[in-house]
Each structure stands twice: as structure tokens, then as C-alpha cells.
Amino acid sequence: MSATELAAAVAPARPERVRRFEARRLRAPLSVLLLLGLWAGTAWLLAAPRLFPGPASVLEAVVRELVAGELLFHLGWTLLRVAAAFALAMLVGAAIGIAMGRVAVLDDLGRPWLLFFLNLPALVTIVLCYVWIGLVEAAAVIAVAINKIPNVAVTVREGARALDKSLFEMARVFAVPRLAVLEHVVLPQLAPYFLAAARSGLALVWKIVLVVELLGRPNGVGFQIHSAFQLFDVATVLAYALAFMGVVQLVEWLGFQPLQRRLERWRR
């Protein structure tokens, strides 16, 4: 008898509540299966494999691109751009947000600018960056970052406004050095806001990166989707899209969720 079997044998019957909780956990996978079923069923009904491929054809396209080495190559380029634009947007946006949250003059001066950039369509930023900077990597990354910076700034500004004044007083009385105050007082309070900005940021950034690639890059998921679009190759379009969605979900599971658990350990 293994250890787990032994534990299961010794353990008392689990209360109803626990069992119901476990049943709830099955709902999400069931929902995914339902979606796949609907998709397959619709594809079968429409019987137009080129314009509306089923899950099997898309999986086939994924495997084909993977074996050809194309998928990882273009995925890699897109990931690099996402990472660069994301880092730039978080850094600049956080700095702007903290400054505006802490200094009233900067908040008043910055608000109209923020409003302007929040309402500026991503497509306009991309076109202008390509025109002004050129069809280069820097233009692509900057264009994406500019789209995301205002969102990060707004979120982090809320956090900077909500900083607990009484803890700063405490630190001042005890003559704690500024760097330690930043590390132990400011950053822990801003962490949830950073995390919220990062999560919504990643979701937005990767979508804009595809547009940037479509408009002016010779590689990446956006470029591949564009090429497939010109051939009306819907299976390849979906193959690249789903592959990248999977990568983003992995970042959520392996990056953000463990990070959040770590940051919130003290609350439990």
C-alpha cells in the first residue's frame, strides 16, 4: 500500500462541501471541451474546411509549422518584441504613475497628456512611429510601449496615491534610509498595482505587437498571420493565434500566479 493510499484509507470521509468544491473544479475543463465541441460541430456543418477549419485541421497546421521550424522562429520574434515593449512600458509607466501619484503639480499637468495618449488609437501610434523612426525594430517596440504606458501610469498612480502616510512618518522618526523605505514601505504597497498593470499590460501588448508586425516587420506571429491571410489560409491563422495564446497563458500560470502568491503570502 503506497503512502497516498494509506492516507486515503485512514482519512475520514470528506465532508460534502469539499466534494462539491472538487466538482466545481471540473467546470472549467468541461467548458473548454464544450467550446471545442461547438467548434468541431460548426466546422462539420459548414463543411468548408478552407474557410472554417475544425480543431483537427488547426492542430495539423500547428504541427506542420512546428516541424518546419517556422512556428518557433516567429513565436520567438514576437515574444522578444512583447518582452521589450512590455518592459519599457512598465518601467516608464510606473515612473510616470509614481510621480503623478506623489506630486500634485505633476498630476495636474500630466492628466491631459494621459487622456490624450489613452485615447490615441494604437494604429495611429504605430503608423506615426514607422513614419518618423523608420521601419525598424525600435519603432515597433516604441509604438507598442507608447500604447501601454498610459494604462500602466494610471494604475500605478492609484497605488502611489494610496500609500500609507503613517508608515512614512514612522520611518522618518526612526531615521530609516530612503532606499530601505523604498524597499520595505513603498514597493510592497505598490506591488498589487504593478501586478494588475503587468497582467492587463501583457494582454494588451501582445495584441498590439501582432498589428505592428503585420504593418512593418518581416517576421513574427503578426507577419505570419498576414501572409496566411493573403492566401486565405485560415487554419494557419488560427494555428499561430492559438499557439501564442497558449504562450501567454503559460506566462500567467508560471509567472504571474506564483508571483502573486509570493507577494500575498503575508495576507494569509
Partner 1 sequence: MAALSVNVVRKRFPALGAAPEKLVLENVRFAASEGETVAVLGPSGCGKTTLLNLVAGLDPEFEGRIERPPGRLAFVFQEPRLLPWRTVEDNLRFVLAGEADAKARIDAALAEVELPDAGPVYASRLSLGMARRVALARALVVRPSLLLLDEPFVSLDQPTAWRLRLLLLDLLARHAVTTLLVTHEPREAVMLADRILLLTAAPGRPRAELRVPLSPEERRDLARIEAVARRLLPDRPEPLAVEAA
Residues contributing to the site for partner 1 (CB under 8 A): 166-167, 169-177, 180, 184-185, 188, 265-267
57: which residues sit within 8 A by CB, 6+ positions away? 43, 49, 235
Closest approach, Cβ 156 to partner 1, in A, equals 18
Nearer to partner 1, 186 or 239 (CB): 186
Nearer to partner 1, 186 or 215 (CB): 186
Cα separation, 93 vs 197, whole angstroms: 9
Closest approach, Cβ 174 to partner 1, in A, equals 4
Vertex 94, ends 91 and 95: CA angle to 5°?
85
Closest approach, Cβ 254 to partner 1, in A, equals 23
Closest approach, Cβ 266 to partner 1, in A, equals 4
Vertex 266, ends 261 and 268: CA angle to 5°?
75
Nearer to partner 1, 133 or 185 (CB): 185
Grid cell in block for residue 2: 503506497
Nearer to partner 1, 219 or 260 (CB): 260
Closest approach, Cβ 169 to partner 1, in A, equals 6
What's the one-letter identity of residue 182?
L
CB burial string 222-259: b at 16+ within 10 A, e below = bbbbbebeeeebbbbbbbbbebbeebeeebeeeeeeee
Nearer to partner 1, 17 or 165 (CB): 165
Whether residue 108 contacts residue 157, with contact meaning beta carbons closer than 8 Å, is answered with no
